[in-house]
Structure 1
Amino acid sequence: MKKITIAFSIGLILLASGCNSGTVKKELPRIAIAGIAIESSTFSPAVTHEDAFRARTGEDIFSYYPFMAPDSGIIDRAVWLPTLRGHAMPGGIVTREAYESLVTKTLDLLKETLPLDGLFFDIHGAMSVQGLDDPEGDFLMRIRDVVGTDVLISTSMDPHGSVTHRLAQNTDLITCYRLSPHEDAIETKKRAVINLLDRLENGKGKPAYKAWIRVPILLPGEQTSTRIEPGKTLTGQIPGLLEEDKVIDASVWLSYPWADAPRNHGVVMAYGDDKEAVARVAEKLAHHFWNVRKEFDFVAPTTYLDNALAQALASDKKPFIISDMGDNPTAGGAGDVTWTLHELFKRPEFRASGSKTLIYASIPGPELVRQAIEAGVGGQVDGMAGAEVDNRYAPPIRLKGEVTAIDEDDDNAKAVVKSGNIYTIVTEKRTAYHYEKNFTDLGLNPREADILVVKIGYLVPELYDMRGDWVMALTPGGVDQDLLRLPYERVQRPIYPLDPDMEDPDLSARFIPSSDEIKR
């Protein structure tokens, strides 16, 4: 494996040693970067392999972090030693082979960076791996075996991740996004890096106290969005609770409801150098989280598909967006469930001349895409799509119609098939449709469509801003939002909302030992 070298790091070392100025300056800290990120459902039959992570190594990793540009003021505060960072689109459980390969490559690269002062550990936190209950905790423990316990580790996460005792102890500084949708993702990663740099530069190192509280709540992001209350205030209050070194940071993890494992439940953490202040902040957030649990509701009107279609057909607002939530690929769904499409094609309204138009985004069908490319725009196709991975709710769907657009992307070709007044986007690989450009590149104008059905949960900002009206449909799939339909066996019970009448839990702060005290 090639040695990690970064040209500008050499310059920084020279600068730190005073070669240019003739003066001796304090040596810059050596900080590595590593992480594997995915949100993976155990209720989906899909399986995630190594190539899905699109792992980058060396200085290519900096493309993930715009706040570390050459003129950022951050890049020159340390000698940065990026190792491996992989980020996969949410999906099914990760194979053990893929996990072990990515971890081993990371550890080998980390060995080349030693000695280290710090590590920026950039993960999601909801990775499921075959035969492993706490992958991120296992990964970080194995990193500690390489870098030692003296290295200061700062971890950035998604709030839909899970924080076990092992993960909490092996990291020193930990934070997660405060907004859902996650518009503050880059800001959060920057905060994790700044906290790390500050504690290295001021010599204070590891915070003296880390408080951890399990909150027995397990709700989907669509019910805990910070666009509305009570999520808006729950995490919005955090900046006002911090007190410099007394309470450096605090976070609320909502966890991930589509993985059936003991670690899946809410968690609150706070850390800093003042024990009483850290406990007070953690307990305040935990009690707030618990006390408002029954106020959480879907971020948009939510119903079953028949009613959603009735509303859309009766509406005069464009586009009327329906979130096809149960198979949302950005939450871990297989992305190829055809149940909703079958229901749409049963509706006579979309066959009548002059009736409303509907765009469906999207369904994988590689053979049908190839057929469309051969037929060309304006040609006719008749073939099957979907349900190759998840056929539990409906079989592959037969799409017969006119090809209105083709995108011969080498990585993921696409075609639009018009059947009556339904325009179905068919893709070579499962695909998320988040941006207007995704549609306009295929000759579709989503703003002028009467109805837009998208495999998604809460709308990402660009879709949210273009909506004329919007409902979320409780459809089946690996990320079914009707949690009571899911066959949980391993989550810790009682837990809300599976056990709505459970007694109030103990929400006292539990102090996590420092990483200096790690015991195997």
Structure 2
Amino acid sequence: MTLRVAIGGFLHETNTFAPTRATYADFVQGGGYMPMACGEALLTACRGINLGVSGAVAEAQALGWELLPLSWAGAIPSAHVTREAYERIVERLLQCLDQAGRLDGVLLDLHGAMVCEHLDDGEGELLARVRELVGPEVPIAACLDLHGNITARMVEKADVLVGFRTYPHVDMAETGRRTARALGELMRTEMPLTKAFHRLDYLVPIPWQTTDLEPAAGLYRLLTTQEQDEVLSVSLFMGFPAADFPECGPSVVAYARSQAAAQRAADRIAQAYAQAEADFAGCVYTAAEGIAEAQRLLSEGSRGPIVLADTQDNPGAGGDSNTTGMLRALVEAHAQGAALGLLVDPDAAASAHRAGEGAMIEVALGGTSGIPGDSPFPVTAQIERLSDGRLLASGDFYGGARLDLGPSACLRIGDVRVVVTSHKAQMADREMFRFVGIIPEEASLLVVKSSTHFRADFAPIAAKILICKAPGPMPFSPADLAWRRLAPGMRLSPLGRSFQPPE
């Protein structure tokens, strides 16, 4: 008999300290994800791109399952998901699920770090509502981001949670495939898996979580060695260290045919994470220091581009991608052959489109999110190129996603060029420079508003990568956030102080 599996998704990574909340319209538009899709349109829209749902659909179709598509929605990271957006999206997904008829399994593409205006644990609540609808016997599998803040309720309500193993997340589609295979095993044997769940005890700055570098690279290699014999799946979640609620933080989840096997696998990963604490370290620069270091390297013969990550305004961590600290530093240093992207300023983009290519305009760029130490940057700029903002992001992170950045422009200030857009998306693909005429391979300096995902497409051309701090809503170190509700005792950085709630 053909297996009938419902599939859908709802993704958001929430920075509770960020300035802007996620509305329903943000999920419709999709940001760096694909736009909202429902029913059969979901199966078409996700084809051939790097998303968990895409890999899950491809694997399910290869296995001959009958797929019952529900709804799928994702929005770029920001502050809390509004109550209206959450309830509206979940209601639609559950309505589709209720109409799906007999099911052998449910597969959900989630993030794992969603906080809403009215809920700390968006995914735990969704999984609980799905469980209530399908009953205790139908297995539920979820594909999750490496940055998931996994809660006890999520572990309880799902039969298996499977996390990404790369950061940059070049394996999103592959993780969807692994999730489908795990669900297939559950449906084949009709036997539940035992679970082992550990919450780990220190937070790591996002740039040092990259699996391109040690110690994270070794930790994720270790996962595959644990999946043998009775152990079906092991995931290490680094956690998203900007969600102020008690269950924020890293964790490990293991699934096996016996409790002893699950516990051994989870214990091994937890031990390795503890031993790696001192190795999560690296150099970080202020904006002026980073640009000075890049100019020094170039003067000594380094062939660009040197890539500088504006990590504290990363829209992939809740930033609005509009702070001006790095841009000011470039202009003040008279940087040559430099480009910055993306700077989200719909008013400036509209002004550029009214003036036309080749014109000079006076405009105050960015700085509108109320970030301490940041403000709009008045400039006189030449409009080099205009665009409608539609592009195909073909690098390994976006993996062929079609982005709509809205009316966009390349503005030139001296020898510094700025990609100004109307919609936000993380700068993680070289096409996000090329679509307005900037050839990234020919630049001397590239400033990217990203923490790590840019590495997937920019590391192959980078002479050097420098992590920089300018004023922004996502501090480099979690220790610099104004925590109030984090679990007591959680260390706020590797080898750092433990959190104690304010009195």
Q: Residues 139-288 of structure 1: matches in 2 within 5 Å?
A: 139-201=126-188, 203-207=189-193, 209-244=194-229, 246-288=230-272
CA contact (8 A) 2:109 2:144 kept: yes
Shift of the 409–215 alpha-carbon distance from structure 1 to 2, 3 Å rule, reads: closer
1:33 corresponds in structure 2 to: 7
**1:60 aligned residue (41, 46, 56):** 41
Q: Which has the larger radius of gyration?
A: 1
1:82 corresponds in structure 2 to: 69
**1:305 aligned residue (287, 290, 293):** 287
Q: 2 CA distance for matches of 1:474 and 1:423?
A: 20
String of CA shifts for 1:441-463, please: whole Å, max 9, x gaps.
21112112111111111233111
1:495 corresponds in structure 2 to: 490
The residue identity in structure 2 corresponding to 1:240 is: T
Shift of the 107–69 alpha-carbon distance from structure 1 to 2, 3 Å rule, reads: closer
Q: Residues 402-421 of structure 1: matches in 2 within 5 Å?
A: 402-409=382-389, 412-421=406-415
String of CA shifts for 1:122-175, please: whole Å, max 9, x gaps.
101111211311111011101112111111011110110111111001000111
Aligned-partner SS, 1:113? coil
Aligned-partner SS, 1:286? helix
Shift of the 68–338 alpha-carbon distance from structure 1 to 2, 3 Å rule, reads: closer
CA drift of 1:431 comes to: 3.3
CA contact (8 A) 1:123 1:155 kept: yes
CA contact (8 A) 2:204 2:493 kept: no
Q: 1 CA distance for matches of 2:265 and 2:143?
A: 19
Q: Does 1:112 align with 2:112?
A: no
Aligned-partner SS, 2:386? strand
Q: Does 1:448 align with 2:442?
A: yes
CA contact (8 A) 2:321 2:449 kept: yes
Q: 1 CA distance for matches of 2:7 and 2:210?
A: 30
CA contact (8 A) 1:42 1:259 kept: yes
Please give the TM-score of this superposition, normalised by the length of structure 1.
0.85
Aligned-partner SS, 1:434? coil
CA drift of 1:87 comes to: 1.5
Shift of the 250–433 alpha-carbon distance from structure 1 to 2, 3 Å rule, reads: same
Seq. identity, %: 26
1:430 corresponds in structure 2 to: 424
1:47 corresponds in structure 2 to: 21
CA contact (8 A) 1:152 1:205 kept: no
Q: Does 1:289 align with 2:273?
A: yes
Q: 2 CA distance for matches of 1:180 and 1:478?
A: 21
1:375 corresponds in structure 2 to: 355
Aligned-partner SS, 1:150? coil
CA contact (8 A) 1:160 1:221 kept: no
CA drift of 1:220 comes to: 3.1
CA contact (8 A) 1:362 1:425 kept: yes
CA contact (8 A) 2:23 2:81 kept: yes
CA drift of 1:340 comes to: 2.5
CA contact (8 A) 1:337 1:393 kept: no
Shift of the 456–148 alpha-carbon distance from structure 1 to 2, 3 Å rule, reads: same
Q: 2 CA distance for matches of 1:239 and 1:429?
A: 38
CA contact (8 A) 1:358 1:452 kept: yes
CA contact (8 A) 1:319 1:450 kept: yes
1:337 corresponds in structure 2 to: 323
CA contact (8 A) 2:204 2:494 kept: no
Q: Does 1:439 align with 2:420?
A: no
CA drift of 1:73 comes to: 7.3
The residue identity in structure 2 corresponding to 1:392 is: P
Shift of the 319–489 alpha-carbon distance from structure 1 to 2, 3 Å rule, reads: same
Aligned-partner SS, 1:121? strand
1:3 corresponds in structure 2 to: none
Q: 2 CA distance for matches of 1:70 and 1:32?
A: 10
CA contact (8 A) 2:197 2:251 kept: yes
The residue identity in structure 1 corresponding to 2:228 is: E
The residue identity in structure 2 corresponding to 1:372 is: A
**1:358 aligned residue (335, 338, 347):** 338
Shift of the 71–440 alpha-carbon distance from structure 1 to 2, 3 Å rule, reads: closer
Shift of the 193–234 alpha-carbon distance from structure 1 to 2, 3 Å rule, reads: same
Q: 1 CA distance for matches of 2:14 and 2:379?
A: 29
Q: 1 CA distance for matches of 2:19 and 2:275?
A: 36
The residue identity in structure 1 corresponding to 2:18 is: S
CA drift of 1:397 comes to: 1.8
2:401 corresponds in structure 1 to: none
CA contact (8 A) 2:198 2:252 kept: yes
Shift of the 472–61 alpha-carbon distance from structure 1 to 2, 3 Å rule, reads: same
CA contact (8 A) 2:10 2:111 kept: yes
Q: 2 CA distance for matches of 1:371 and 1:85?
A: 35
Q: Does 1:463 align with 2:463?
A: no
Q: 1 CA distance for matches of 2:147 and 2:58?
A: 32
CA drift of 1:283 comes to: 0.5
Shift of the 498–229 alpha-carbon distance from structure 1 to 2, 3 Å rule, reads: closer
CA contact (8 A) 1:400 1:417 kept: no
Q: 2 CA distance for matches of 1:94 and 1:29?
A: 34
1:518 corresponds in structure 2 to: none
CA drift of 1:437 comes to: 2.1
Gaps of 5+ in 1: 1-26, 351-355, 504-520
Please give the TM-score of this superposition, normalised by the length of structure 2.
0.88
Shift of the 128–73 alpha-carbon distance from structure 1 to 2, 3 Å rule, reads: closer
The residue identity in structure 2 corresponding to 1:105 is: R
String of CA shifts for 1:215-249, please: whole Å, max 9, x gaps.
112113311222222111211122221124x1111
Aligned-partner SS, 2:80? strand
Shift of the 235–402 alpha-carbon distance from structure 1 to 2, 3 Å rule, reads: same
Q: 2 CA distance for matches of 1:434 and 1:41?
A: 19
The answer to which of 368-377 and 99-108 deviates more is 368-377
Aligned-partner SS, 1:60? helix
CA drift of 1:198 comes to: 2.3
Q: 1 CA distance for matches of 2:167 and 2:277?
A: 16
